A and B are shown apart, each in its own frame.
Chain A
Amino acid sequence: MRAFTFERASSVEAAAKSVASNPDARFIAGGTNLLDLMKLEIETPTHLIDVNGLGLDKIEATTDGGLRIGALVRNTDLAAHETVRRDYGLLSRALVAGASGQLRNKATTSGNLLQRTRCPYFYDTNQPCNKRQPGSGCSALGGISRQLGVMGVSEACIATHPSDMAVAMRALDAVVETVKPDGTIRSVKIEDFHRLPGDTPHIETVLERGEFITAVSLPPPVGGRHIYRKVRDRASYAFALVSVGAIIQSDGKGRVAVGGVAHKPWRLEAADVELPKGAKAASGALLAGSRPTEQNKFKIDLVERTLGAVISEARG
Chain B
Amino acid sequence: MKFETPAKTNPIDNLKVVGQPIHRIDGELKTTGRAMYAYEWHDPNLHYAYGYPLGSSIAKGRIKSMDVAAAEAAPGVMSVVTTLSVGELGKGKLNTAKLFGGDEIQHYHQAIAVVVAETFEQARAAASLIKVEYQEESGTFDLAEAKMSAVKPKDTDGAPPDTAVGDFDGAFYAAAVSMDETYTTPDQSHSMMEPHASIALWHGDELTVWTSSQMIDWWRSDLATTLGIDKEKIHMMSPFIGGGFGGKLFLRSDAVLAAIAAKATGRPVKVALPRPLLVNNTTHRPATIQRIRIGADKSGMITAIGHESWSGDLPGGGPETAVMQTRLLYAGENRMTAMRLAELNLPEGNAMRAPGEAPGLMALEIAIDEMAEKLGLDPIEFRILNDTQVDPEKPERPFSHRNLVGCLKLGAERFGWNDRKKPGARREGNWLIGLGVAAGFRNNLVMPSGARVRLGNDGVVNVETDMTDIGTGSYTIIAQTAAEMMGVAVDKVGVHLGDSRFPISAGSGGQFGANSATSGVYAACVKLREAVAMRLGFNSDDVVFENGEVRSGNRSVPLAAAAGAEGLVGEDTMEWGDLTDTHQQSTFGAHFVEVGVDLATGETRVRRMLAVCAAGRIINPITARSQVIGAMTMGVGLALFEELAVDTRRGFFVNHDLASYEVPVHADIPYQEVIFLDETDPMSSPMKAKGVGELGLCGVSAAIANAIYNATGVRVRDYPITLDKVIGDLPEVA
Contacts and interface: CB of A to CB of B under 8 A. Distances in A.
Identify which of B602, B647, B649 gathers the most chain A CB atoms within 10 Å of its CB.
Answer: B647
Nearest to A231: B601
Contacts of B666: 236
Contact of A236 (B121, B125, B659, B668): B668
Interface stretch (A138-146, A151-159, A251-259): A138-146
A309 B600 contact: yes
A5 to B, nearest CB: 14
B734 A120 contact: no
B125 A3 contact: yes
A237 B666 CA distance: 10
Contacts of A312: 733-734
B448 interface: no
Nearest to B127: A41
Given A118-B660, A124-B654, A143 B647 contact: yes
B430 interface: yes
B125 A1 contact: yes
Interface string A241-271: 1000000000000000000000000000000
Given A309-B600, A309-B601, A144 B665 contact: no
A305 B601 contact: yes
Interface stretch (B150-158, B178-186, B721-729): B721-729
Q: Secondary structure of the A side of the interface?
A: loop
A237 B658 CA distance: 11
Given A236-B665, A236-B667, A237-B665, A298 B647 contact: no
B655 interface: yes
A64 interface: no
Given A1-B124, A233-B723, A306-B601, A144 B657 contact: no
A1 B121 contact: yes
A134 interface: no
Contacts of B665: 234-237
Interface string A100-123: 000000000000000000101101
A301 interface: yes
A231 B125 contact: no
A56 to B, nearest CB: 28
Given A3-B75, A231-B603, A298-B724, A146 B645 contact: yes
A127 interface: yes
Nearest to B661: A120
Identify which of A142, A239, A298 gathers the most chain B CB atoms within 10 Å of its CB.
Answer: A298
A245 B733 CA distance: 18
A302 B733 contact: no
B600 A306 contact: yes
Interface string B186-206: 000000000000000000000
A81 interface: no
Given A118-B659, A301-B728, A279 B601 contact: no
B276 interface: yes
Contacts of A147: 660
A52 to B, nearest CB: 22
A2 interface: yes
A234 B640 contact: yes
A238 interface: yes
Contacts of B430: 309
A126 interface: yes
A2 B728 CA distance: 47
27 contacts: A1-B121, A3-B121, A39-B124, A40-B276, A41-B128, A118-B660, A120-B654, A123-B276, A124-B656, A143-B647, A143-B650, A231-B601, A231-B723, A233-B641, A234-B641, A235-B605, A235-B668, A236-B666, A237-B665, A298-B727, A301-B728, A305-B600, A308-B600, A309-B430, A309-B598, A309-B600, A309-B601
Interface of B: 57, 75, 121, 124-125, 128, 276, 430, 598-603, 605, 640-641, 645, 647, 649-650, 654-657, 659-660, 662, 664-668, 720, 722-724, 727-728, 730, 733-734
Given A123-B660, A235-B667, A302-B723, 15 more contacts: A1-B124, A3-B121, A118-B659, A121-B654, A142-B649, A144-B645, A235-B605, A239-B659, A298-B728, A301-B727, A302-B601, A302-B727, A305-B730, A306-B600, A309-B601
